[in-house]
Chains A and B, each alone.
Chain A
Amino acid sequence: MKYVALSACVALAVASITPAAAADEQIKVGIVQATSGGSAALYGTMGKNAALLAIDEINGSGMLGASKLVPIYEDDAGDRGQAVNIFQRLIFQEKVSVIFGPTLATSAFAADPIAQKAQVLVIANSNTAPGITAMGDFIFRTSPPEAGVFPGVLRYAKKKFNLKTAAQIYGIDDTLMKTAYGVHKKALEDEGIKIVDTETFQKGDVDYSAQLTKIKGANPDAIVIGGLAEESANIVRQARQLGIPQSVPIMGAVASISTKMAELGGAAAEGYLVGSTWYMSYDAARNKSFVEAYRKRYNSDPDSFAAQGYTAVYAFADAVKRAGGVGDVKKLRDAVAATKNLDSPMGPFSFDTDREPVIDPKVLAVKDGKFTPVTNE
């Protein structure tokens, strides 16, 4: 299959010689992120900011020659009906070449089929539920599914802390976290670690003490959290406040990697283990320039959703360049699918044959308030 992709690349490179001259065009790109209406706004904003940053960089650098990316940004408020409305309008009226988003997997399940049917590319940066890219060959994502990173974290923790038992706590009403929970459970079972207690919480909860007291009573060797950054930070903090000792390691979901996690968790977050494709201090020139540009423009730190949103735009622009414009939809799609070892803030980035991201997973731990790779210890 890799050979096919490679040969497609070669074919494209040859083919792109002719149309490149006619590439003096305005390429409309849609950005659909939730920046209002509930907790989805927390990560929708990241995706939107990063995409706009990447688009301006690409336009400024002349990467696409005389062509320019024209962003059309819409807020779906995390609401599925609105996401569908926006997709229809972007596709049939604005005639965009690609849509970056939507923020939530639930919106994606409703809206992506419209794009697939109309043969318009979708590159998601925050959907980690299974089955997203299975909706069609025009649907891609730069966000790694939980199953791609968590088993590595668990293997590391099992070896280091000699784990025999674990307790799980996760957000039962969140697609992302329910998915993470399933992956965590399977990984624990695969490693032969006994799950002694499973607790849940819901969006908007702030008090986890009842669940954590129960977990404390079950006396596990480790705790695995399926929660977003703010939730995980609070769970970690309240767990330590309730007297669950630092010697009981706490592991989290990919989505919890955020500067917010360490900031909100404070001292309690020290040692928090997580797998990721990206972290702020990742030592690569491409990442340093990204973090610096993001900070300069938005006066705040990016998180992994931002890195994935940024990469989505660059993967698209790179494909446009290779396909020689957006005129031939099939060719453009094939060019995106052929993305290989793209220099991204997350390291070399590729799409596999299922249009899922291929990136090296990294095991990180919070150390002095920062996510640091564990191998550096």
Chain B
Amino acid sequence: MNAAVAQFIASYSNIIDLCLLNSLIAYGLFLALSANMFSLATGGFMALGAYSSVYLTMELGLPFAPAVLAGAICGAAAAALIGAPVLRLRGDYFMLATFGFTEVVRVIALNWDSFTGGALGIVSIPRYTQTWHLVLALIVMVYVVHTLRGSYFGRAIAAIKQDDVVAQTMGVNVFAYRLSLFVASGFICGMAGAFAAHLNYFIGPGDFGLVRSVDALTYPILGGVNALAGPVVGAVFTTILPEALRFSNQLREILMGALVVAVVLYLPDGALSVLKLRRRSGKSGSGKVATATPRTKQ
């Protein structure tokens, strides 16, 4: 029995780690989305966290924990720096501007050979990331988000999400709240980048591009942006899906696309809206208001 469990863990440990890591990233995006920030800066933040932490552990010989913290702070600092100008932009312009940031970081990583190794990347990175690190980070994350949602801060954010103009007139400092959420998102993505870098022996600029950023956004949206567990559900679903579809190598891409389309079409408020439908509670109204207003928001 024990042998079977050990074999299972050996065979699937990386999938478990990736699920945890992606869940962590998903919460970073969850925070951004909770104030209507459709951010594609994930790849850029992760790259900063990854390269800076690897520099600290490999070049300066620092222990892992401070390196992860430094990676997270790099992500947060970048968010604070680009946040001020970018947050002035409306929805889709914001999306493109954050994507621009990710691209600029990637191009710099490609050209700065002495620090990043360019396209050749950095190889033989020690594998410091343990599964329990990720579990711990995720638990802390969920606890913090849960606490925030019940606080004044959380209610202010909910007000911004529904209508930022009204929130502003009610005395909520919309810019400050958005900026703090964006910085928190940068912090989490930077930390995830540091974990990711010390997980698979290698990093390269290609790991942190558009695909990474778009995938990260997909997790909380698929899982549901109104439920606390939404990001985890979305991240686990998207990470396991390619593995679950391995029986059909050729049609995998097509099937994955079709499955995601099906989820979106039949569960338009995210996978977790299944639970809501069943509960039929009045609370689901909060999602409805948000969906009824997008045209006027633009």
Contact = CB atoms under 8 A, between A and B. Distances in A.
**Does A touch B (CB under 8 Å) in the complex?**
yes
Interface stretch (A174-182, A187-195, A369-377): A174-182
B204 interface: yes
A329 B118 CA distance: 37
Contacts of B89: none
Contacts of B10: 88, 91-92
Contact of A172 (B15, B110, B252, B253): B110
Contacts of A173: 110, 119, 205-206
A84 B12 contact: no
Interface in B1-43: 7, 10-15, 18
Contacts of B131: none
Contact of A110 (B7, B120, B202, B246): B202
Contacts of B201: 109-110, 113
B12 A88 contact: yes
Interface string A128-164: 0101000000000000000000000000000000000
Given A77-B242, A80-B202, A109 B12 contact: no
Contacts of B242: 77, 82
Contacts of B154: none
Interface string A90-109: 01110000000000001001
A178 B109 CA distance: 13
Nearest to A73: B249
A174 B202 contact: no
Contact of A175 (B111, B121, B249): B121
Given A82-B242, A88-B14, A173-B119, A106 B206 contact: yes
Contacts of A73: 249
Task: Tell me if B's interface is mostly helix, strand, loop or mixed.
Answer: helix
B123 interface: yes
B131 to A, nearest CB: 13
A372 B245 CA distance: 43
B246 to A, nearest CB: 6
B249 A89 contact: no
Contacts of B206: 106, 173
Given A88-B12, A173-B205, A81 B18 contact: yes
A80 B124 CA distance: 14
B202 A36 contact: no
B120 A179 contact: yes
A85 interface: yes
Nearest to A178: B119
Contacts of A19: none
Interface in B193-214: 200-202, 204-207
A74 B248 CA distance: 10
Interface string B214-256: 0000000000000000000000000000110010011011000
A106 B201 CA distance: 10
B200 A174 contact: no
A291 to B, nearest CB: 25
Nearest to B15: A85
Given A109-B123, A173-B110, A175-B121, A81 B200 contact: yes
Nearest to A179: B120
Given A106-B121, A173-B206, A80 B11 contact: no
Interface residues of B, number: 30
Nearest to A79: B242
Interface string A1-45: 000000000000000000000000000000000011100000000
A63 B219 CA distance: 50
A80 B200 contact: yes
Contacts of B207: 80
A84 B14 CA distance: 7
A175 B119 contact: yes
B249 A85 contact: no
Nearest to A95: B7
A75 interface: yes
B120 A172 contact: no
Q: Among the interface residues B13, B123, B205, which one has the most CB atoms of the partner chain A within 10 A?
A: B123
Contact of A106 (B13, B202, B246, B252): B202
Interface in B165-208: 200-202, 204-207
Contacts of B111: 172
B117 to A, nearest CB: 9
Interface in A40-86: 73-75, 77, 80-82, 84-85
A178 B121 CA distance: 10
B14 A175 contact: no
Given A80-B202, A106-B206, A110-B200, A174 B119 contact: yes
Given A106-B202, A110-B201, A74 B119 contact: no
20 contacts: A35-B250, A75-B246, A75-B252, A77-B242, A82-B242, A84-B200, A85-B18, A92-B11, A93-B7, A106-B121, A106-B204, A109-B123, A110-B201, A110-B202, A171-B119, A172-B110, A173-B110, A173-B205, A174-B119, A175-B204
Interface of A: 35-37, 73-75, 77, 80-82, 84-85, 88-89, 91-93, 106, 109-110, 113, 129, 131, 171-175, 177-179
Given A77-B252, A85-B15, 19 more contacts: A36-B253, A37-B253, A73-B249, A74-B246, A74-B249, A77-B242, A84-B200, A85-B12, A85-B243, A88-B12, A88-B15, A91-B10, A92-B7, A106-B202, A106-B204, A109-B124, A110-B202, A172-B119, A178-B118
7 tightest Cβ-Cβ pairs between the two chains A and B = A109-B202, A110-B200, A92-B10, A178-B119, A93-B11, A92-B11, A75-B249
Interface of B: 7, 10-15, 18, 110-111, 118-121, 123-124, 200-202, 204-207, 242-243, 246, 249-250, 252-253
